[in-house]
């Protein structure tokens, strides 16, 4: 163990290849299905939606390492490598024998890890000659990242932002506009999917599932336009592995190796990013690290969802994905961790969970804000409400280590800062926040009628 607080890499240490976990998985995920033919998806089936290179990455089950283009690494240099931090302040506040580390992805110019995938997605679109792209965003972290990446590569971007966040988080909307993107509150009148849901439910405040439907519809009906997505999919998790690959080098600098790795969980992008590079050493038998995905109590697909084929969006425009799901029509409570309000987990994470290779916990909203406030006061950084789920899970483990008198090494991903989520902290300080559980009956009802086999 070193006495340093931060473990700092140089630009030359930015990974040169992304890690694709699929070839090494003991049991590979079931294939995604074409919803029309119900046959396993081929890359060509995805070309109308995604850039071709991204479609190939999505279905690549053979190459463990995929080279990062120089143009992408150059742009990573704006803020990468990110620091690994020993959370000595938090350890002291908890009086725990555990050694807690966090990977600080909040230092990106948009304040989250989302830029790791936004950049290659914009790059591969541009390389193919695509001029316009669409996407969705919940709390706005992904939309802000995509806006910056699109501007850098000279692409026009339209972002469908979940209506509740559009109204609650105007700063994130302004950030996207400052970078030059168009931002539309979803559901909107600009798409068939949006019009239908507005007509059926006039006061509907939107969901990620609906915003995805709108963005996919606009992309597939606009010339030379494609859609980009910030989570759930394999190629997004792939790009995010730069987090774990850097962390691996930094843990070695610290002279430690994690017993437990934790990430918050919405669709899987940051959890996969920090976990997969470490998980490969479990697969090889070298290590026995425990992996914990921390999801909101109000949206517990990993702990309480059904393993089944389901759509990635509300209207059913996407391929069928084998996932742990609460049903694509599930409408999560309006918790402040908007980025975790998604009904399903990606295919790889779902399979890993099914096979007992990763764990999951679901955490009540008040516990996450209590953890966030302790973290802010002991480590100085105000965390995003999403990331606070990882902090809460890390605190649970650190307290367990204290109880058991064992000196565990805990690593979690601080996926973003919360400086643009201060209304959420205001509500917490004012005592206005509540927890949101869902009943088994609600889960059963939403998953009773899932598509496919």
152 makes contact with a second copy (CB under 8 A): yes
Q: Long-range CB contacts (< 8 A, 24+ apart) of 376-381? A: 377/93, 378/87, 378/89, 378/90, 378/92, 378/93, 379/85, 379/87, 379/89, 379/90, 379/102, 380/89, 381/104, 381/106, 381/414, 381/417
231 contacts: CB under 8 Å, gap ≥ 6:
142, 266, 267, 268, 269, 342, 346
Query: Which of 406, 423, 434, 437 touches a second copy by CB under 8 A?
Result: 423
- Rounded Cα distance, 220 and 132, in Å: 11
3-state secondary structure of 81: coil
Span of 39-47, 173-181, 201-209, 292-300 interacting with a second copy by CB under 8 A: 173-181
27 makes contact with a second copy (CB under 8 A): no
List the one residue out of 205, 207, 245, 211 whose CA is nearest residue 228.
Answer: 211
151 makes contact with a second copy (CB under 8 A): yes
Q: In this structure, what token pair is assigned to residue 284?
A: 């090889």
Instruction: For the CB of residue 138, give the shortest distance to a second copy in the complex, in Å.
Output: 18
Instruction: For the CB of residue 222, give the shortest distance to a second copy in the complex, in Å.
Output: 23
Instruction: For the CB of residue 259, give the shortest distance to a second copy in the complex, in Å.
Output: 25
79 makes contact with a second copy (CB under 8 A): yes
For a second copy, the binding residues in 82-141 under the rule CB under 8 A are: 85, 89, 107, 109-111
78 makes contact with a second copy (CB under 8 A): yes
Q: Which is nearer to a second copy, 190 or 373 (CB)?
A: 373
Query: Which of 355, 426, 442, 444 touches a second copy by CB under 8 A?
Result: 426
Query: Which of 178, 199, 224, 437 touches a second copy by CB under 8 A?
Result: 178
> What is the largest distance, in Å, between two alpha-carbon atoms of the chain?
62
- Rounded Cα distance, 68 and 17, in Å: 5
Instruction: Specify whether the CB–CB gap between 238 and 18 falls below 8 A.
Output: yes
252 makes contact with a second copy (CB under 8 A): no
Say how many residues make up the chain.
453
174 makes contact with a second copy (CB under 8 A): yes
Count of residues binding a second copy (CB under 8 A)? 43
Query: Which of 50, 102, 179, 278 touches a second copy by CB under 8 A?
Result: 179
Query: Which of 333, 376, 402, 435 touches a second copy by CB under 8 A?
Result: 376
Q: Map tokens 């995905």 to a residue.
A: 293
Cα dihedral 168/170/172/177 (nearest 10): 150
395 makes contact with a second copy (CB under 8 A): no
**CA distances in angstroms from 290 to 227, 326, 363, listed in the order given:** 35, 25, 18
382 makes contact with a second copy (CB under 8 A): yes
- Measured from the Cβ of residue 67, the count of other Cβ atoms closer than 10 Å reads 12
Task: Give 354: exposed, middle or buried? Use CB within 10 Å, 0-12, 13-18, 19+.
Answer: middle
Query: Which of 10, 62, 203, 439 touches a second copy by CB under 8 A?
Result: 10
Instruction: For the CB of residue 73, give the shortest distance to a second copy in the complex, in Å.
Output: 10
Point out which residues bind a second copy (CB under 8 A): 4-6, 8-11, 74, 77-79, 85, 89, 107, 109-111, 148, 151-152, 170-171, 174-175, 177-180, 373, 376-377, 379-382, 417, 419-420, 422-423, 425-426, 429
């Amino acid at each position: 163990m070193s006495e340093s607080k931060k473990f700092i890499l140089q630009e030359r240490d930015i990974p040169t290849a992304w890690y694709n976990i699929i070839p090494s998985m003991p049991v590979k995920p079931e294939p995604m299905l074409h919803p029309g033919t119900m046959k396993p998806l081929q890359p060509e089936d995805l070309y109308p939606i995604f850039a071709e290179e991204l479609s190939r990455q999505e279905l690549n089950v053979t190459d463990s390492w995929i080279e990062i283009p120089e143009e992408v690494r150059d742009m990573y240099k704006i803020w990468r490598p990110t620091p690994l931090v020993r959370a000595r302040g938090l350890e002291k506040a908890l009086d725990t024998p555990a050694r807690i580390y966090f990977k600080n992805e909040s230092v990106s110019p948009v304040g989250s890890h989302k830029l790791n995938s936004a950049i290659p997605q914009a790059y591969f679109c541009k390389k193919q000659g695509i001029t316009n792209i669409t996407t969705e965003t919940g709390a706005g972290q992904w939309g802000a990242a995509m806006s910056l990446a699109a501007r850098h590569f000279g692409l026009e971007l339209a972002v469908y932002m979940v209506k509740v966040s559009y109204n609650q988080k105007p700063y994130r909307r302004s950030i996207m506009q400052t970078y030059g993107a168009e931002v539309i509150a979803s559901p909107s009148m600009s798409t068939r999917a949006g019009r239908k849901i507005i007509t059926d439910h006039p006061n509907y405040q939107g969901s990620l599932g609906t915003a995805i439907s709108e963005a996919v519809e606009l992309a597939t009906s606009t010339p030379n336009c494609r859609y980009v997505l910030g989570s759930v999919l394999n190629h997004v998790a792939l790009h995010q592995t730069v987090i774990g690959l850097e962390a691996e080098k930094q843990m070695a600098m610290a002279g430690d190796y994690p017993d437990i790795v934790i990430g918050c969980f919405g669709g899987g992008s940051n959890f996969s990013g920090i976990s997969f590079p470490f998980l490969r050493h479990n697969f090889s038998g070298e290590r026995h690290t425990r992996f914990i995905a921390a999801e909101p109590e109000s949206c517990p697909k990993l702990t309480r969802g059904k393993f089944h084929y389901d759509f990635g969006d509300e209207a059913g425009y996407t391929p069928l994905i084998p996932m742990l799901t609460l049903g694509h029509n599930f409408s999560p409570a309006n918790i402040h961790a908007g980025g975790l309000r998604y009904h399903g987990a990606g295919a790889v994470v779902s399979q890993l969970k099914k096979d007992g290779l990763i764990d999951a916990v679901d955490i009540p909203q008040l516990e996450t804000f209590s953890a966030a406030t302790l973290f802010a006061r002991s480590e100085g950084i105000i965390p995003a409400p999403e990331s606070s789920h990882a902090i809460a899970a890390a605190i649970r483990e650190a307290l367990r280590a204290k109880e058991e008198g064992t000196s565990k090494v805990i690593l979690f991903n601080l996926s973003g800062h919360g400086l643009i989520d201060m209304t959420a902290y205001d509500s917490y300080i004012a005592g206005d926040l509540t927890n949101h559980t869902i009943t088994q009956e609600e889960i059963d009802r939403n998953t009773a009628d899932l598509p496919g086999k």
